[in-house]
Amino acid sequence: MKIKNGAEYIESLRKIKPVIYYKGERIEDVTRHPATAPHVRAAAMTYALASDDAYGDVATATSHLTGRTISRFTHVHQNVEDLIKKVKLLRILGQKTGTCFQRCVGFDGINAVYSVVYEIDQKCGTDYFERFKQWLITIQDENLMVVGAMTDPKGDRSKGPADQPDPDQYVRIVERRPDGVVIRGAKLHMTGAVNSHEILVMPTTAMDERSKDYAVVCAIPVDAPGITMIFGRQASDDRRDKLERIDVGKPSFGAVGGEALIAFEDVFVPNERVFMDGETEFTGSLVYRFASHHRANYGACKTGLMDVLTGAVSYLAQIQGTAKASHVRDKVTEMIHLSETLYCSSIACSAEGWPTPSGAYMVDTMLANVCKQNVTRFHFEVARLALDLAGGFIATLPSQYDLESEEVGHLVKKYFSGVKDIPTEERIKIARLIEAMTGGTALVESMHGAGSPQAQRVMIFREGDLGKKIKLAKALLGIPQKERAPENG
């Protein structure tokens, strides 16, 4: 792997010059700007683990394309063991960063595209699969970070891509040339976009023939001409921008994943980087495979975050002298129970994985949707319990400036102290960490990342096989079976 560790990853970002704006101003160096540097450091942890012998088994893999050792984040799952190792890696990274480390979307995009373009070639006689493999070998050998770009603005959501008043509300091909295509449009909420090397563009929904120009999959360097990114605001970002070490909650790593709008203004993509061009019948399976892989992740990375939150509130209880109270122990027990239950979901959908025709392994799609649905409840409940145990002082805590003030600092230290011999500063730091992990952007991402809760419920119902369940009930009662589809609504 060309990029071998976190330091080399950070240095690699300084060699590219994507166009990035934040709060109306251009960011020249994402590795040093206070808004983006924490997210760079979180992503760098994925590189650090791959270079650490203690984590090599889960953080690296052997490429089935070259036989070389590669980052697991560039690997195509070859068996159930690969799927399970991914889950273990994501939980470890969640524990070490307390936030999103941003490589999962590109990872899941690689796996979804790999399996689908193979099937396009088999039916249509195209050469997308070979193109994709050659691109992927470069990604693996260089150890590049890929941002998976799926979510389109969507404009008027009562209309599909071809019926939008503004045709750019979905990314589309506006020109086809002998040597490539030109695309226009945008992708929203793109996690890790500003500190990635490559963008993997994918369609955001199933499409019909009328939307042929919108059925495009391609790979583009982040600094290609015509690409502009706008970095999104996050909760308490003014604290981060002003380098308020304590008040930001997680001074080393970002609040969530560092999401951005990516605008494509007539961006040229050469043929060797185009992996779908108009094959609308395959858009649905691509979206569904990507979403299933990504939803499976949440039971792992969010469990890692919940581990940190459980540890934080447990230590705060020690500082405050309440750790031995029965109701505190019971609520901490519930936090652990919910975390491990969620982790079970992620392990289960991986253990039930299956091979696609390309050889790439898929998670069990029903269980992956159940996993993500559980995230939208369990993470929120763990956060609620953490705030319950922490107490209301988090909402009224004086700032770092007051703590360090010569005039009033002694008052903060005196009246926000806990048990003897534990510095007040530690109580404040832990409180700010809990605030950062339970407020604003963090929980919004748990709710809507990888699709809204309703999207998972639609797929759970669709895959629930009610016909089979009705037959089971009838068989138990001796009711004759009739060949009639149940009315499921």
Per-residue pLDDT band at 240 (split at 50, 70, 90): confident
Which among 410, 62, 34 is positioned nearest to 237, based on CA atoms? Answer: 34
- DSSP strand E in 198-273: where? 198-201, 216-221, 227-231, 259-270
- What stretches of 162-277 show up as alpha helix (H) in DSSP? 237-241
Tally DSSP H helices, then E strands, for the chain.
16, 14
pLDDT tens across 61-102, in order?
999 999 999 999 999 999 999 999 999 999 999 999 999 999
Domain boundaries defined on the chain? 286-469
Does residue 349 have a pLDDT over 90? yes
Q: Which burial class, exposed, middle or buried, applies to 357 when counting CB atoms under 10 A from its CB (0-12, 13-18, 19+)?
A: exposed
DSSP state of 159: S
Mean pLDDT, rounded, for 104-133? 98
Side chain identity, residue 331:
K
Residue 373 CA to its chain's centroid (Å): 15
Q: What is the pLDDT of residue 335?
A: 96
Question: Per CATH, is 286-469 categorized as 3.40.190.10?
Answer: no
Give me the residues paired with residue 25 across strands: 22
* 335's tokens: 């936090």
Residue 379 and residue 385: Cα distance in Å, rounded? 10
pLDDT tens across 144-159, in order?
999 999 999 999 999 9
Which of 14-23, 37-46, 241-250, 331-340 has the weakest average pLDDT? 241-250
pLDDT tens across 273-323, in order?
999 999 999 999 999 999 999 999 988 999 999 999 999 999 999 999 999
* 358's tokens: 């390309």
Residue 150 and residue 406: Cα distance in Å, rounded? 51
Mean pLDDT, rounded, for 475-479? 88
Residues forming the active site: 100, 104, 191, 259, 294, 298, 301, 445
Q: What is the pLDDT of residue 488?
A: 47
Q: What is the pLDDT of residue 36?
A: 94
* 179's tokens: 């040597």
Which among 435, 449, 188 is positioned nearest to 201, based on CA atoms? Answer: 188
Q: What average pLDDT does the structure give for the chain? A: 92
The CA angle 18-9-33, to the nearest 5 degrees, is 50
* 196's tokens: 């990635």
Do 8 and 51 form a contact (C-beta atoms < 8 A)? no
Do 108 and 297 form a contact (C-beta atoms < 8 A)? yes
Q: What is the pLDDT of residue 443?
A: 65
Strands 25-26 and 19-22, by their bridges, are antiparallel
Does residue 223 have a pLDDT over 70? yes
Residue 133 and residue 139: Cα distance in Å, rounded? 10
